[in-house]
Structure 1
């Protein structure tokens, strides 16, 4: 955060997630850098505006391998170059996509999907039910699933948990490609949001022959991928960006209006804003310092998402293995400063893990039902710190791990200042690329770090079951009571009882065990060129849709 809170933060308030703040990847050869791209006139004819949108990401495109990816930026690309049985529409509701429909058994356990006629991969091969079975099994197979996301299938599909643990066989997983157009899946328990799950990246199909042939090179460059979605890649560099063009073999190609999406990685928000002003970018996120300047601009608007940014503690880390040290670090910063002074963009100070608008029960949100779990208390934080130091025998030397985008760096500086002010301690901020940060956390090589989670579907379970997996990234957290609550909630058919279990689980995770510490629920302020219409940003699941966009 440089030295003044009001000058930087929120930089790209999308931490690892939102997508579209465009950038000039110029369009076709010979096009100008004007927004949307204007081709030069030929033979005296009036110039024709190309259907191009220029966007950007605030961090590198980490991984386009469906079996190993786990970040929102990669999800945003994959969501537009592929597709599931269902796709979220403009109102964030699941609609038939590669499937033309589904029949659900009376007990709510068996889903029979029928694929559309004539659907094809980008190379012309037919997309079949077997492609879904291969992808779903691969996402659960402990030998191929590397992104920590196997649970989003294995927790729901009968036989999936055993297969994902290495104790069961693929044949016992209840996924049946009855013929090329019929896919039957049986669930462990009724899951009202299962169709929403099928819109998520790990539920997309993969062509087994193609993936096998490419081996370790799969998804490393455009020609090493097949595409089933509205777009396909023509260029891709993780550190600099990507280019997407319409997929001529997409079943709904006629309704995809934008011919090309140019993406570029721009980590510094000020650089992105300058590109927007220069007409090289069609959308840009605003920092808190810029919101007041542009809030009356006709190109200014806001959106919301189900995303919580938070601190993850390593329960086996030096110093952070102590409960009182973690509780001290939870209470020693004032998140309202983030909301009111630093972010200034509609984001809200977080008092729990679950965002404010996520569904609960009885027409109340989950947050309303739970209330505040964590609020700043400098005096109490000091007491916890002193008790923790006494138990450890010395004050721990702490290092906070953060990604290298502008927002995260400012968050690190903010926390560093708050800990100095309220605990009298010096915390070192370690800045890494997202990929390097993720690797350190995956290896358990950290004490605590700034991270975030965006909802995959509209239910508190999309957050809370993360800590039942006992991974280093989730702090090596293990609590049998917590695990039992999550497992029981997944089987409970009474919605009130189920939500009460999740309320108790959130309380254990934050207030009792201090495994995470909430920072803020994310809102976004941005500028968007008026000629760009219908860029859809979902508050959960795959972050952005280019399919519905138009250029006027």
Structure 2
């Protein structure tokens, strides 16, 4: 079996006059923690990395696969060996050719315990042969099931057939990196001026927490179809300030503050946008050893979840097309159907009544209130939701103390289990339910609440080789609803303002994966 696609690039229709100014400036909420594809863990970081590097495949405006460094691939009869044919005109920004060895090096580096990547588990999710043993340190990285057959042929062996395997290759952790530059510069290889990438843009400036500036890369294989010359990201920790700066003309794109969409859509119908977006917003509960004793009781966890009124969060606070959620996987995920989760069908008064009952059973009440801490990262929206949640939980006798941290501190505390409840969101690495459900398995690098459940692990393991994994995905969701290690709050919509003269935005891509090379600015 072999697959090939048409190439993709900025598709400027005939008769369109391009603007002289081909600079695009967009908003980031948080500082980019790392420009290293194997180290980055953030969705915002991935937005930058997709422009500086290129993997085997990219996504088109609808989320379909299009060639990146790979032109096509063949799959063996048993579905367990993928052979990728790489283009011979892919180059690094220093002019060196991109070869199959660059992918082999990057993938081994991702799995190598010495790299200490939080995304090492992604190699296991991809079921690359020997990945688990390499990640565990029981096998050398060169035992990983990936090899360069020749300069332009990459072979990958996986443990079991997995139809969505190619979709997983758009994730930044699988992008190639230049070994010679890393060997010469160590951790400093990602600095502006030093970083060598193979994407459509090069990094010319990075002031942490302030700005990222990228310029068109003339060595990129499709540079002739790349229209935007300069791409700038500005870090603005306040969504309201971001919108103010957008209105002042400093930004071409910004996420919209909670509650602003109805007004902006009325006043600026050609700029205000809301589309389904492959992310879920939850409160993660620390059910591990370091977590509070109360959260080890499933009755307490359920009470907390039932008492939060999702409709108020979505309809009164956010107002941007988000969906209230009672499960983990985003409702619009390809091939997924939400199972019939009992508490989702109750009225909110019924949920509240049940929450009080469960909390009393667990030994808490007016005479013995339950005190917990909820931490969230800096954002006016997260703050509004946290305040609302604390008021809702007060009704059942839970006192929440709200802790606000900058993004890096917030994520560091979560990774070291230094929290009770924490605001968390997961954006799918690809458009398939396993990207959500794998995260709650015991082997996940992001299971910060330490929910370890043998039944759940078994269901996820079985789903990997199932002809139709949907019933198993639904079973996994039911376990999460029964055990409640997370409190689902809502499924995202991407709600943003985009200047009318910026064209090529992939509105129909559930991942909202965008590539600056596909965008262009038209003359007013």
Check 1:542–1:189 CA distance in 2 against 1; reply closer, same or farther (3 A cut): farther
SS at match of 1:257: coil
Q: In structure 1, what is the equivalent of residue 284 of structure 2?
A: 312
2:50 touches 2:199 (CA, 8 Å); kept in 1? yes
Q: Deviations over 1:136-183 (max 9, x none)?
A: 111111221422442345541111122112222334321111111111
CA separation of 1:337 and 1:119: change in aligned 2, threshold 3 A: same
Within-5 A mapping of 1:99-498 = 99-153=70-124, 155-219=126-190, 221-296=191-266, 297=268, 298-316=270-288, 317-318=291-292, 319-360=294-335, 365-367=336-338, 369-371=339-341, 374=344, 376=348, 377-389=351-363, 395-420=369-394, 422-468=395-441, 469=443, 473-492=447-466, 494-495=467-468, 498=469
Is the 1:537–1:545 contact (alpha carbons within 8 Å) kept by the matching residues of 2?
no
> Are 2:518 and 1:548 equivalent residues in the alignment?
yes
> Partners in 1 of 2:272 and 2:435 — Cα distance?
31
Identify if the C-alpha distance between structure 1 residues 467 and 406 changes in structure 2 by more than 3 Å, giving closer, same or farther.
same
Contact 2:110 2:119 in 1 (8 A): no
Q: Distance in 1 between matches of 2:200 and 2:122?
A: 27
What does 1:30-109 align with in structure 2 at a 5 Å threshold? 49-109=20-80
Which runs of 5 or more structure 1 residues have no equivalent in the other structure?
1-47
Q: What value does the CA root-mean-square deviation take over the aligned residues? A: 2.1
Q: Sort the Cα spacing of 1:174 and 1:198 in 2 relative to 1 into closer, same or farther, 3 A.
A: same
CA gap of 1:233–1:543, structure 2 versus 1, over 3 A, is same
Task: Look up the SS of the partner of 1:164 in the other structure.
Answer: helix
1:347·1:523 contact (CA, 8 Å) conserved in 2? Answer: yes
Q: How many residue pairs end up in the alignment?
A: 494
Find the counterpart in structure 2 of residue 536 from structure 1.
Answer: 506
- In 2, Cα distance between the equivalents of 1:105 and 1:112? 8
Q: C-alpha distance in 2, partners of 1:117/1:89?
A: 22
Q: Distance in 1 between matches of 2:46 and 2:396?
A: 39
Q: What do residues 252-301 of structure 1 show as CA deviations (whole Å, max 9, x unaligned)? A: 11111100111101121221222122111112222243223221323222
Partner of 1:8: none
Query: 1:242, CA displacement in angstroms?
Result: 0.4
Partners of 1:146 and 1:536 in 2: CA distance = 30
Q: Measure, in 2, the Cα distance between the counterparts of 1:288 and 1:217.
A: 38
Say if 1:212 and 1:154 are closer, same or farther in 2 by CA, change over 3 A.
farther
Cα drift, residue 539 of structure 1 = 4.7
Worse-superposed segment, 325-334 or 149-158: 149-158
Q: Retained in 2: the 8 A contact 1:99–1:115?
A: yes
Partners of 1:166 and 1:149 lie apart in 2 by: 12
Contact 2:376–2:404 (CA under 8 A) maintained in structure 1: yes
